[in-house]
Structure 1
Amino acid sequence: MGSKQPRPAGIDRRQFITGASAVAALVVTGCSGDDGGGGAGSAGTGSSTTASASNQTSTTLHSAKLAADPFTLGVASGDPLPDSVILWTRLAPDALAVDGRGGMPADAESVDVVWEVAADDRFTQIVTSGVFTAEARHGHSVHVDASGLKPGTDHHYRFRVGEWQSPVGRARTLPDGSAERLRLAVANCQMLETGAYAAYRHMAGQDLDLVLHLGDYIYEYPGVPGARPSLPETMVVSLADYRLRYASYHLDPDLQAAHARFPFVVTWDDHEVANNYMGDSVPGTGGSPQEQLDRKAAAYQAWWENLPVRIDPPEGPALAVHRSFTVGDLARLHVLDERQHSEVPPCRPDPESTIDFGDCEAREGEDRTRLGADQEAWLEGSLAEGGVTWNLVGNPVVLAGVDSGAADGDAAYYLEVWDGFPQARNRLTEQLAGSSNPVVLTGDYHQGMVLDVHRTPFDMSSEVVAPEFMAPPISSVLFGQDVSPRTPHLREQLNSHGYLSVEVTPDRLTASFQVVADVADAASAVTTASTWTVDAGDPVTRRA
């Protein structure tokens, strides 16, 4: 969400252990003279960008002389399936090098990275391994699709480049068949300068199957001097800028710890590109439409480079990020993209404006798409697929509706959320109404909330289609306005930082708000502020 203003009214580094056969296989046979034409993730073939364990060799061909540890940004896993998971790192011996290359040598166009997955954290039981070629054109990022894994099982992984060994990460695959439980955390809105990551520190100590991140992973504003500065100090516009901003965030030890412990499933909101960007409109960029597209393309590439996603790299300003994850017969998680395919909100005074607040006739009078026709059709099919008890919807911006107008005044909405797209919202609500036990998981608003999604928004006499749980922000500035006077379907509002924890069983979904006492303190206490339950077959939430 944009710059809303309230209106009145360590993992320990472990020694890399290999058996005799692995040592023989990992001989460096030469230095790279590659011009970067092969696909990142190729093992000498240039045919794949997200490398699969089944199509890689175990011999390194492209080496680099690195003067420092290249694993400063940590390790991560993501987009788990029952038999595979994406393993990620990005080589950056000097993570904050101003050119965005992470301190990688100018002649290191291709660097081979050894990876291993084991059943134990001492790596005495290797499950699968290989070599991934990290390329300069993709920021020397690594996206390994480690396949052939056992469902519903913890696996341990690590990387090596030459003498340098990465921290050890843990990745859990999704269960298959009859699943009895799913535990996840929901995170969003983590501006580095405005708070520490105590929420991630607390999260890393929990027993979770995955973390769902609903966007605003970074913020594009000029870096703010202080205890937690981010680079560059200017507005983020170019690919080098975006790479440097992600590096600033990834250096945080608590964020690294959460990434190393749990698989993340991520989507984006607006600040991964620019405040209140929608479709091809990128306010604040200035210049020509092509310059806006160039900025969008740079942002998309940096997002892909810096996160563990099961997605091929973007080609220009387009990247399909909507996808779903099936957890046995228990649940399906549908992850939405609500920015890339959207039309511009109504009532925007001019193309460069980021002020999307208020109301006007065009809001109800014009049918604007939010998801785009292709994503709408995909979601309809995904929700109709069946075979699960619960349908969880990863929905970056609030769906149920929030009226932020003064109690005795006119309606006023933040129009870049679903309130600005009432016809598209109606289509989505009807899709949810036809699915099994839909639950909407939301971020963006810099508050924690529990809302009822009514078939007719704001009409308390209409059917409740689904509950909506809004995760509080990790660290971004809170929007403290009480919206209850004009939002009758609001069940609870929490003016706190933190995250949402969700436990799903065949009979019940339980959502708990984990709140941070002092966002400025990385060691702050984190406590459960409230807990709500939803029974299968009944969309009305109840306070536990």
Structure 2
Amino acid sequence: MNVGEPRGEREVTRFGRRGFLVGAAAVATTVAAGCAGSDERTEGPMIDLPDVDREAFALGVASGDPTTDAVILWTRLAPDPLADDGSGGMGPDDVEVSWEVAADDGFSEIVASGTVTASADHAHAVHVDATGLAAGTPYWYRFQAGEVLSPVGRTATLPDGSPDRFGVAIVNCQMYESGAYAAYRHLAEEEGVDLVAHLGDYIYEYPGGTGDGRHSAPDRMVETLADYRLRYASYKADPDLQAAHARFPFVATWDDHEVMNNYLGDTAPDDATAEAVRARRTAAYQAWWEHLPVRLDPPVDGELRVYQALDVGDLARLHLLDERQHGDEPPCRNDESTGLDEGDCAEVDDERTRLGDAQEAWLAESLAGSPARWNLLGNPVVLAGVDAGTDEPSYYLDTWDGYPRARARLIDLLAGAANPVVLTGDYHAGMVLDVLETPFDPSTPVVAPEFMAPPISSALFPADVSARTPQLRQQLNAHGYLTVQVAPEQVTVAFRTLGDVTDPDTDVTTAATWVVDAGDPVAR
């Protein structure tokens, strides 16, 4: 069904355990009739329920966008996640789902509970704003549809006051076909992480049915709302990704592959019209909203305000940017899918905006008004600049390299902020760079350090870019993630990297650790 298609009035269905699965058209031949309409609550964890009942919550649970007194709780009812119509095996009716939050993992002390409608218009996904919680406190949560219990998730609110530490993990670029999600398995076991920030490329839109590795559905290019729903279901069915979501609250922005490669605004590197790009973008944004634990209402007219700032007391403010929805078309766009153009593009030096006027004004106000000791910038594409050339310059002009005046304005904003640290994704490599006052000119001052998170699983970019990138401090060609430990006097960034991304049991190691001291923008 297309978003906004009239459906008329629907009954909100209350299922018992067996009634839920039959009503959802899942494993109907194996479940006896009975229990439909039961409103009884089942206490205790889900582990005592048979596997067949867990299929109702086959995509797991997640939490996100925490504040000091609230957090978003997410799940999606999908007993048949890979149903080709994108419905998850659910029928056309809405379903009532109950939820509860507890102060302990045994649910002996319930602190919040309620019911929410899982709407067929939203792929039976729910976003619960669990409020009235205590600051800086861990909680456990679960959902229930009739007598069917979800897995249990753990979450936490943000601290207030002056915390002495806070840990953030940075993840990005998780193409399903390119490797296992061992990085998420290890991340779920990390101590000292309080929040995960996803900087984009949560899914990839390419056909998923080729090669000898893992295959995501559908096997065609993802273009429609049903396609995007199916692709998210393929990814989110992965147990390691589910484990990370169930362990930590997430915040998220997007990059290009949530829609299509190298799109920006209503433009794409192929011959697609603005109307065609917009239609595809509208479907993609709807599916992104349905599958992420975000504090947002559904998209309106194909638009979402994704950029936001989160305060960790007066220790840190995380500014999360949207660098795809609001910007102008990249300069000198060619027909190659890489977006790689020569550095002499005459269109580069113009007034193109990367963030859009409204987001740029918001960021200026957020940075200028920040009370925090540290200002972290969640920045989907590289800011400091990367020249991938050898004898001649060669830039990716759909990154900040294609927007020099907009980048100069952003660097000026960072120069006026307290202790800025840039956290980046997209490039399929781990890097440490200096954000220079004038990019590529090492004679100018360092304004901020930039730490590029390695990809979770997407194919690596193995080229050594050091020859023409003097601001590059280190390049790590490995998969993994970053952990960022924030303390009043320093930020410590660890590159947690995998051995073999195709091996789900591969080990993780700390390949490099960098420290940023308060008052000194040069990482060491």
Which deviations, in whole Å up to 9, do the C-alpha atoms of 1:424-448 show, x marking residues without a partner? 0000000000000000000000000
User: Counterpart of 1:480 in structure 2: which amino acid?
Assistant: P
2:295 pairs with 298, 302, 310, which one?
A: 310
Other-structure match for 2:256? 270
1:203 pairs with 165, 180, 187, which one?
A: 187
Q: Is the 8 A contact 1:36 1:135 kept in 2?
A: no
Which deviations, in whole Å up to 9, do the C-alpha atoms of 1:75-94 show, x marking residues without a partner? 00001111000000011010
Find the aligned partners of 2:100 and 2:321 in 1 and give their Cα distance: 32
Which deviations, in whole Å up to 9, do the C-alpha atoms of 1:11-37 show, x marking residues without a partner? xxxxxxxxxxxxxxxxxxxxxxx9566
Q: Are 1:501 and 2:483 an aligned pair?
A: yes
Segments of 4+ in structure 1 off by > 4 A? Answer: 34-38, 60-64
Q: Are 1:66 and 2:51 an aligned pair?
A: no
CA shift at 1:133, angstroms?
0.4
Q: Is the 8 A contact 2:266 2:275 kept in 1?
A: no
Other-structure match for 1:261? 247
Secondary structure of 1:541's aligned partner: coil
- Contiguous gaps of at least 5 residues in structure 2: 1-5, 27-54
Secondary structure of 1:220's aligned partner: coil
User: Counterpart of 2:314 in structure 1: which amino acid?
Assistant: D
Change (3 A) 1:513 1:353: closer
Q: Is the 8 A contact 2:349 2:403 kept in 1?
A: no
Find the aligned partners of 1:345 and 1:289 in 2 and give their Cα distance: 14
Find the aligned partners of 1:289 and 1:380 in 2 and give their Cα distance: 30
User: Counterpart of 1:261 in structure 2: which amino acid?
Assistant: R
1:220 pairs with 174, 183, 205, which one?
A: 205
354-363 vs 439-448, which deviates more?
Answer: 354-363
Other-structure match for 1:523? 505
User: Counterpart of 1:313 in structure 2: which amino acid?
Assistant: P
Find the aligned partners of 2:418 and 2:203 in 1 and give their Cα distance: 34
Question: How does 1:408-419 map onto structure 2 within 5 Å?
Answer: 409-419=391-401
Secondary structure of 1:255's aligned partner: helix
Other-structure match for 1:462? 444
User: Counterpart of 2:132 in structure 1: which amino acid?
Assistant: G
Other-structure match for 1:94? 80
Find the aligned partners of 2:177 and 2:498 in 1 and give their Cα distance: 16
Which deviations, in whole Å up to 9, do the C-alpha atoms of 1:115-135 show, x marking residues without a partner? 000000110000000001010
CA shift at 1:361, angstroms?
3.7
Other-structure match for 1:83? 69
Find the aligned partners of 1:365 and 1:392 in 2 and give their Cα distance: 28
**Normalized against structure 2, the TM-score is what?**
0.90
Q: Is the 8 A contact 2:78 2:90 kept in 1?
A: yes
RMSD: 1.7
CA shift at 1:362, angstroms?
2.6
Q: Are 1:160 and 2:164 an aligned pair?
A: no
CA shift at 1:347, angstroms?
1.1
Find the aligned partners of 2:95 and 2:286 in 1 and give their Cα distance: 19
Q: Are 1:134 and 2:118 an aligned pair?
A: yes
Q: Are 1:347 and 2:332 an aligned pair?
A: yes
Q: Is the 8 A contact 1:183 1:501 kept in 2?
A: yes
Q: Is the 8 A contact 2:209 2:220 kept in 1?
A: no
Secondary structure of 1:365's aligned partner: coil
396-405 vs 223-232, which deviates more?
Answer: 223-232
Change (3 A) 1:247 1:61: closer
User: Counterpart of 1:263 in structure 2: which amino acid?
Assistant: P
CA shift at 1:61, angstroms?
6.6
- Give the total of aligned pairs: 483
Q: Is the 8 A contact 2:59 2:242 kept in 1?
A: yes
Q: Is the 8 A contact 1:363 1:421 kept in 2?
A: no
User: Counterpart of 2:354 in structure 1: which amino acid?
Assistant: R
Other-structure match for 1:116? 100
1:242 pairs with 203, 224, 228, which one?
A: 228
Q: Are 1:514 and 2:469 an aligned pair?
A: no
Q: Are 1:535 and 2:521 an aligned pair?
A: no
Q: Is the 8 A contact 2:340 2:394 kept in 1?
A: no
Q: Are 1:370 and 2:381 an aligned pair?
A: no
Q: Is the 8 A contact 1:347 1:359 kept in 2?
A: no
Q: Are 1:405 and 2:389 an aligned pair?
A: yes
Find the aligned partners of 1:250 and 1:349 in 2 and give their Cα distance: 34
Q: Are 1:433 and 2:415 an aligned pair?
A: yes
Q: Is the 8 A contact 2:267 2:273 kept in 1?
A: no
Q: Is the 8 A contact 1:96 1:231 kept in 2?
A: yes
Find the aligned partners of 1:356 and 1:315 in 2 and give their Cα distance: 33
Which deviations, in whole Å up to 9, do the C-alpha atoms of 1:254-276 show, x marking residues without a partner? 00000000001100000000000
CA shift at 1:161, angstroms?
0.4
CA shift at 1:335, angstroms?
0.2
Question: How does 1:450-489 map onto structure 2 within 5 Å?
Answer: 450-489=432-471
Find the aligned partners of 1:500 and 1:365 in 2 and give their Cα distance: 33
Which deviations, in whole Å up to 9, do the C-alpha atoms of 1:178-222 show, x marking residues without a partner? 111110110000000010011111100012111010000000000
Q: Is the 8 A contact 1:112 1:132 kept in 2?
A: yes
CA shift at 1:480, angstroms?
0.3
Find the aligned partners of 1:124 and 1:319 in 2 and give their Cα distance: 38
Q: Is the 8 A contact 2:430 2:475 kept in 1?
A: yes
Other-structure match for 2:285? 300
Find the aligned partners of 1:360 and 1:79 in 2 and give their Cα distance: 42
User: Counterpart of 2:196 in structure 1: which amino acid?
Assistant: V
Secondary structure of 1:305's aligned partner: helix
CA shift at 1:516, angstroms?
0.2
Secondary structure of 2:174's aligned partner: coil
Secondary structure of 2:233's aligned partner: helix
Find the aligned partners of 2:62 and 2:407 in 1 and give their Cα distance: 34
